[in-house]
Amino acid sequence: MTDIEIRANILDAFFAGTDTTANLFCFVTYYLCHYPEVKQKMLAEIDSIFPPNSSFQLTHSDLSKLKYCEAIIKEVDRLCPVANILARYPSEPIEVGGYQWPADTQFQIDLAIIHRHKDYWINPEIFDPDRFFLDNKSESYLNVKNDDLKDDHNEKENQKTGQKYSFIMFGGGIRICPGRKLAMIELFSLMVYVFGKYDVELIDMEAPLKTKSSIITTCQELMVKIKPRNL
């Protein structure tokens, strides 16, 4: 690697490895405070793996059991993606959208639109972690309900809503985020330590989520009050 490439990767580690995780955790906090039933289900999962009032060490094997926490993270990022634009450059001339494009044309992919597109998601504006939790083991992220699994017609529809790149939390292909697993470990750890030990509430439940978007979406302000959980 050249010095420029080394510098670029180090900057990526600082930029993509801190701001993105910190802002996504803010968004997770906001949605959990607005959906207490989701929060209770999350706490039940955390408590079952990391018992309250007991000493424990976070291990990768235990964190990997937090399937509902993972579903929450993905659903929050679907509705409010931190990285909201991906850029790609074709190395050769290519046809996209019925048009011919020369090599090195920059294509900017709007993730916020894809994540809420009605052709790929059922009730796309609704916060529903179960859309990831029910099919958690699949990379297709099918958006299905229990009854739909038994319906041949809906199964065909689910093939449409489960497009491979309808959810792009960490990008895709050979350019997928190299730190994606570390980011998930960080988010799991924060959820266990913060929500497992403390009761977090918004100061103003009526206040909208204050964000600013450019290449990434950042949380401008999130006022909360924190106290130890009554266990």
Binding-site residue ranges for heme: 177
Cβ-based neighbour number of residue 157 at 10 Å: 15
CA 147, distance to chain mean position in Å, is: 25
Q: Which DSSP symbol is given to 208?
A: P
DSSP symbol at 210: E
Question: Which residue in 171, 167, 103 sits closest to 138, CA to CA?
Answer: 167
CA distances from 34 to 70, 168, 200, 209 (A): 18, 24, 11, 11
Of 64, 66, 83, which Cα lies nearest the Cα of 17?
A: 83
Give, as one character, the DSSP assignment of residue 174. Answer: G
Q: Which tokens is 178 given?
A: 């190299």
Please state the residue numbers annotated as binding site.
Answer: 177
Contacts 24+ apart (CB under 8 A), 52-56: 52/196, 52/229, 52/231, 53/231
Instruction: Give the tokens for residue 34.
Output: 């607005």
